[in-house]
Amino acid sequence: EAQVTQNPRYLITVTGKKLTVTCSQNMNHEYMSWYRQDPGLGLRQIYYSMNVEATDKGDVPEGYKVSRKEKRNFPLILESPSPNQTSLYFCASGTGASYEQYFGPGTRLTVT
């Protein structure tokens, strides 16, 4: 089954404790991206990747890092999480940015 998977689905952590949210797709897509969803603000892009070893900032990259060492994986790293990063995070993939995007199930992160 073609899908985008994210882990964990739910995470509660404390300020400053490094964490990684994994994202994996099995559709051989070149393009992957991360979004956060906040009430009243909608989904906003954090980072995107056009291919292996090619990443770039989206609209709200502060406090986040990403890497793309393999085509199927695109982890999101929060090296020192803060409460304002409490949000619902989505990973997406597609053949390219201008093609249909497939989204993962989301990761709900709470930083206390």
Binding site for other proteins (CB under 8 A): 4, 33, 35, 40-45, 48, 50, 56, 58-59, 90, 92, 97-98, 100-106
Evaluate whether 71 touches 28 at the Cβ level (below 8 Å).
yes
Residue 83 or 105: the one with the smaller Cβ distance to other proteins is 105
Q: What does the angle CA 109 – CA 55 – CA 32 come to, to the nearest 5 degrees?
A: 60
Q: Which is nearer to other proteins, 32 or 111 (CB)?
A: 32
The nearest distance, CB 58 to other proteins, in angstroms, is: 6
CB of 111 to other proteins, least distance (A): 20
